[in-house]
Chain A
């Protein structure tokens, strides 16, 4: 049995989802709904060896970021600005956050002050003009 519990809440701009797993860790709700967030991607930050990996993650607004704790004790992913705060993430548990605000967010683990990292949220790029969405000559 992989999925034991899934708690999903909306805290301001954060949409955390904690997934507790026995054995193999499973990432929360998977890819976001295409109708809600067209083109949105899911990115993973692994917490292991008292480090966030990658140290700097750049995503687009609307993307989903999942922190997975591979260490043997709890950590948090907490923005200095408090834009997001996972609270305690137990070992082999993940926490997901929808990046809805553009900006650079330094964050760390409140339990272990030496652990620091950065999340960069860029504006969603305009869709490129292709053969399928080209409007054609103005009439």
Chain B
């Protein structure tokens, strides 16, 4: 198996999580856990990529993921504290965490351009699956107006990240 396909299992876990979320009614505490976990997963991957990444554009992208998703998580945490909502673990958040751990384990075995391609490939799958979950489940299911507004507010960031990841994936493919 080529190294660049190593993180596919992790991406599959993300897609599975999104698929579960699409077909299941989720509560606000569960949504809070999904949002926080989704951001933590991408921050962890970003920290690894910032240290191990090969190209400057991959390192810059990784730094952007760390900064942006940390900002989202800060606001999400402040909101759930204000609303007295306790994040509740659920199959989606658990699958996201497991997928994130598998992705990190796979990435740690790679280096150089193979690492860059695998990281970006996962970022494309990750952001697409989160956008799908936001559109099909999280935003429609959110009961609290402020939680729903936060989800709507962060969606454009995930779309922009996806677009950037695809552009980098395309440029890496030409190398």
Q: Is the CB of A114 within 8 A of B160?
A: yes
B89 CB to closest chain A CB (Å) equals 24
Q: Are the CB atoms of A50 and B160 closer together than 8 Å?
A: yes
Establish whether residues B164 and A113, one from each chain, have CB atoms under 8 Å apart when the complex forms.
yes
- Give chain A nearest CB distance to B81 CB in angstroms: 16
- Closest-by-CB residue of A relative to B155 is A49
Cβ of B146 under 8 Å from chain A: no
Please report whether the interface of chain A is mostly helix, strand, loop or mixed according to DSSP: loop
**Interface size classification for chain A:** 10 to 19
Chain A residue nearest to B157 (CB atoms) is A50
B73 and chain A: residue at smallest CB distance: A72
- Residues from chain B with a CB closer than 8 A to the CB of A48 are 153
Nearest Cβ in chain B — how far from A90, in angstroms?
9
Q: Are A72 and B75 in contact (CB under 8 A)?
A: yes
Main SS of the interface on chain B? helix
What separation, in Å, do the CA atoms of A100 and B104 have in the docked complex? 50
Q: A112-B164, A114-B164 are in contact. Are A71 and B157 (CB under 8 A)?
A: yes
Q: Which residues from chain A contact B156 at a C-beta distance below 8 Å?
A: 49-51
* Interface-facing stretch out of B9-17, B21-29, B64-72, B134-142: B64-72
92-114 of chain A: CB within 8 A of chain B: 111-114
Q: Which residue of B lies closest to A111 (CB)?
A: B64
- Residues of A at under 8 Å CB distance from B? 48-51, 71-74, 91, 111-115
9 A–B contacts from the bound complex (CB under 8 Å): A48-B153, A50-B156, A50-B157, A51-B156, A72-B68, A72-B72, A72-B153, A73-B71, A112-B160
Task: Apart from A49-B153, A73-B157, A112-B160, list 12 A-B contacts with CB within 8 A.
Answer: A50-B156, A50-B157, A50-B160, A72-B74, A72-B153, A72-B154, A72-B157, A74-B71, A112-B64, A113-B164, A114-B160, A115-B160
